[in-house]
Amino acid sequence: MNRLSTWTAATVSKAIAKGLMKVSALVRKQPNDVVLAKIAAIPGLELEHGRGRDSAHFFLNFLRHVERRGLSERDVAKRTEQYLVHPVIASESARQTARVRHGLTGLRSLILSPTVRCNLRCEHCYNLYEIHEDGHDRLSLETMERVLGEAKELGAYRVSVIGGEPLLRWRDLVSLAETHSDVLFTVFTNGLLVTDEVASALAARGNVELAVSVDGPAALHDRWRGAGTYLRAVNAIERYVAHGGMALFAPTVTAENYEALLSDAFVDAMIERGAYMGYLHHYDMVGGQERADWLLSPEQLQRMQRRIEEIHRAKPVSILSNVVSDLLRGGCPAVRDFVHINHKGEVEPCCMVPFAGASIHDQSLAAALKAPLFSDVCAIGPDAHGIKRCLVGENLVTIRRAVDRGNAHGTTTRSHALFAHEDPALLAKLPTCFSSTPALQ
């Protein structure tokens, strides 16, 4: 079988849980570097497995949650199975099978958009105009249940649920989490719909964490998302944690707010609210946005990296940056590690790349990933810095060729506008994750 047997998963989980319980009391106030040195020797827990430094930070944050909640060893074993065993160990087993059975590298995770409807309209949203122009299409619950089963066969035991606002379909998410109890769901939300009913239902599943968008201190956040939204967002974190769930803060980072997001005051406020980690998503101009001045420069990325390292040395929290982390791993992980299935069932290399090479409505996910577009993406090599650059930046030519050959099509009303950025003179302003960014040292 591709996945671990129930007995094997439970046995591994119990073994890891015993080790975690022994060191859990160390983590409340100890900085990451100190705690990582202490847990590195836990049997069965390979901190460098698959994702390197990010994996280590994720394990540490899980350990910190165990200590904070005061869970019994039995509960720790169950959480370990849901958060660590399936997303890491079972995933790698399934990926190896996928290589043999399908000739594919497999997936580490899946990005899923059940809907693009949203209760806000934020200027920095990656999907700004599609939110309201294409709000009626959505993936059925039955389709999502099928696709998640197929994704697990390829190794994707982690699912990032985005939108739109995914909690507009929170009842379907509860059902998905019940049906696929071995999948870890990270739901990216603005937090406005996190009532006690929603928090209780999702937290009770044990395999759903909320990534709440908090874009900085109250004044800055409210200016971007609307008056009063900051308080509702941080209250959502607090409420979900109170109901037994795990929550993280997940801001959109721009040149305007990156310093505030990494300030002691803001990070400490998120820790106090109960966030177990932070995930920084960088602003990109792929959805019709017009604020080029919000794009982060290479120098600002360098400063972010140094500041994140300072936080890790000094504070009991981990912060991951979708750009800095991937640069350190060699660049763009699209198709190699994940794909995005949008609300219409179209398969895109990434949620920031509005072009699809296949649909899951007329074939399995494995069959869809054999489409020429995805083979072309996998064939892209690194640049002189050892970094595989972004598909809507320096490697946009790959998408252009796929479109010209009929192997890809735009999935939004503004997809083809990206081709305006092919001029090399515009490289310094390209709206991408990795444009003109030297290798981080």
Mean pLDDT, range 185-212, rounded to an integer: 97
Is residue 272 helix, strand or coil?
helix
The band of 86, judged by pLDDT with boundaries at 50, 70 and 90, is confident
pLDDT over 80 at 17, yes or no: no
Considering the entire predicted model, what is its pTM?
Answer: 0.88
Is residue 297 helix, strand or coil?
coil
Mean pLDDT, range 397-421, rounded to an integer: 87
Paired tokens of 114: 């059940």
The band of 191, judged by pLDDT with boundaries at 50, 70 and 90, is very high
pLDDT at 2: 44
pLDDT in tens, 31-68: 767 776 666 655 555 544 334 555 666 667 777 777 77
Q: Which of 8-22, 130-144, 347-361 has the lowest mean pLDDT?
A: 8-22
Name residue 208's beta-bridge partners: 185
Mean pLDDT, range 182-196, rounded to an integer: 97
- Across all residues in the chain, what is the average pLDDT? 84
Distance of CA 430 to the CA centre of its chain: 22
pLDDT over 80 at 322, yes or no: no
Top-ranked range on mean pLDDT: pick from 88-97, 261-270, 374-383, 385-394? 261-270
The band of 142, judged by pLDDT with boundaries at 50, 70 and 90, is very high
| % of the chain exceeding 70 in pLDDT | 79
Please report, for residues 141, 167, 178, 342, the alpha-carbon distance to residue 171 in angstroms, rounded to integers and kept in the order given.
Answer: 10, 8, 11, 19
The band of 89, judged by pLDDT with boundaries at 50, 70 and 90, is confident
pLDDT over 70 at 3, yes or no: no
Mean pLDDT, range 350-358, rounded to an integer: 93
pLDDT over 70 at 334, yes or no: yes
pLDDT over 70 at 433, yes or no: no
Is residue 76 helix, strand or coil?
helix
Mean pLDDT, range 355-370, rounded to an integer: 96
pLDDT in tens, 297-309: 878 888 998 898 8
Q: What domains can be seen in the chain, in order of their start residue? A: 6-101 (no CATH), 103-441 (3.20.20.70)
DSSP string, 234-247: HHHHHHHHHTT-EE
Q: Do residues 270 and 319 lie in contact, with contact meaning Cβ atoms separated by under 8 Å?
A: no
Mean pLDDT, range 266-285, rounded to an integer: 91
pLDDT over 50 at 427, yes or no: no
Top-ranked range on mean pLDDT: pick from 80-89, 392-401, 426-435? 392-401
Mean pLDDT, range 141-170, rounded to an integer: 96
Top-ranked range on mean pLDDT: pick from 47-61, 65-79, 177-191? 177-191
Mean pLDDT, range 309-329, rounded to an integer: 76
Contact residues for 232 (Cβ-Cβ < 8 A; gap 6+): 191, 192
pLDDT over 90 at 155, yes or no: yes
Output DSSP code: residue 4: P
